[in-house]
Structure 1
Amino acid sequence: MNEVLSYSIADAVKASGVGRSFLYEQIKAGKLKARKLGRRTLILAADLQSWLAALPKI
């Protein structure tokens, strides 16, 4: 079972291809759900996928 359950901000940036500050803006705006574990900010894989799927299509 090597399925990724959550991403750190740095890993979410790599996985999604968007910038770090943009991710933080989306979290602050409530558009992307994030969780705190101690000092770490984690984004669940399902939340990242849902957020990416909801982005406008071109």
Structure 2
Amino acid sequence: MANFEPTNPETPAISVDFNEAARLTGLSRARLYEAAASGLLPVRKSGRRSLLLVDDLKAFIQNLPKGRFKKVA
């Protein structure tokens, strides 16, 4: 697979594959696949390649429940 290098590095990518999405979000690929399979994370197809829009990833992360931590004495 060829490494995609944008011609202008200041132009952000609008879509990423599952490997890059995992790196960007800190979530596992398995968790991202689960979210896609359940319909929580839309997937776009280009031939055999599955792509995730960066905006959809941001929305998915922002809609995750807020964490609660117990106070430690």
Q: Report the TM-score when normalising by structure 2.
A: 0.76
Tell me what 2:34 maps to: 25
Moved over 2 A (4+): none
Gaps in structure 1 of 5+ consecutive residues: none
1:25 and 1:35 mapped to 2: Cα distance? 15
Gaps in structure 2 of 5+ consecutive residues: 1-9, 68-73
**Number of residue pairs the alignment of both structures matches:** 58
User: Identity of counterpart residues, as a percentage?
Assistant: 36
The alignment's C-alpha RMSD in Å is: 0.9
Q: Which has the higher contact order (CA 8 A, sep 6+)?
A: 1
Greater C-alpha radius of gyration? 2
**More strand by proportion, 1 or 2?**
1
